[in-house]
Structures are given as C-alpha cells and as structure tokens.
Amino acid sequence: MKFYLDTSIWLDFLENRNEPNFPKGDLAKELISKIINEDDKIIFSDNNAVELKTIGYSDFEIEELFGTLPLIYVESTGKEIGKAKDLALKRNIPKRDALHALIARDNNALLITFDNHFNKLIDIVIPRNPREFI
C-alpha cells in the first residue's frame, strides 16, 4: 500500500505534537512504524517539503529526517497545481490542501490527515486518519 501524509501529520510525527486526550504525535509515530514494518510506502511530495520549509525546516533537516523512511518522492505537476488553484477558490480551502489531495489521488495513495478541509474533497480522495490503520 502507498500512503500520502498531509504535512500536519508529518509535523505531529516530527514534533511529537500530542494534545490532552488527542495523542497526534503518538498516532503518527505508530502509523509510520506500521508502514515500515509492513513494507508499505509513503509518498512525500514537493508540496510537503515547501510547507515544512515555510515553517522553518531546512533542506538538510528534511533530507536527514526522512533519509531512513520508505519514501517515494514526487513532484507536483503543472496540471495538479492549476487544478488545486481552481479547487481552492471554488471550495474555499487552502490551495496546498487541494494539491495534497490531487497528489494522493494521482499516485494511488491513501491520504492520511486529521484536517477537516479534506472533507470538501471526497470526490477526489477519501481522507483517512491514522487511527484507521493502527
């Protein structure tokens, strides 16, 4: 199986972002561990990288953090970027979230997220949360 993690899931994993009664960091770590143990793959996109860089992660940190994970790196296409802009305007969601959904769909990957914006995109990809796979 292939999984595509929304950047918020990556942040939960990297920063162990647990909240009272909502252990997001622990759930992200359990999911990634399970993916590794079952020889599944994780799609990591240029969109993920841009979002991580925007909040302060360097290229070196990203490469170092993900060097040992079973990642498949993909670049978003011009068609995906154009469609994401259109979807974002029409559905009142962030453009990068629309792009995550399109990348997941186009790479036949399960989109993993806790973000409710993706519920507006169920005709493109069904959003799933880490709990469904742990």
Q: State the pLDDT confidence band at 104, using cuts at 50, 70 and 90.
A: very high
Going along the chain from its start, the domains and CATH numbers come out as: 2-133 (3.40.50.1010)
Over the stretch 43-98, which tens digit does the pLDDT of each residue have? 999 999 999 999 999 999 888 877 778 889 999 999 999 999 999 999 999 999 99
Q: What is the DSSP string of 51-87?
A: HHHHTT--HHHHHHHHTTS-EEEEPPPHHHHHHHHHH
pLDDT digit string (tens) for 3-23?
A: 999 999 999 999 999 999 999
d(CA 52, CA 132): 25
pTM: 0.94
Beta strand 2-5 with 41-45 is parallel
pLDDT at 68: 75
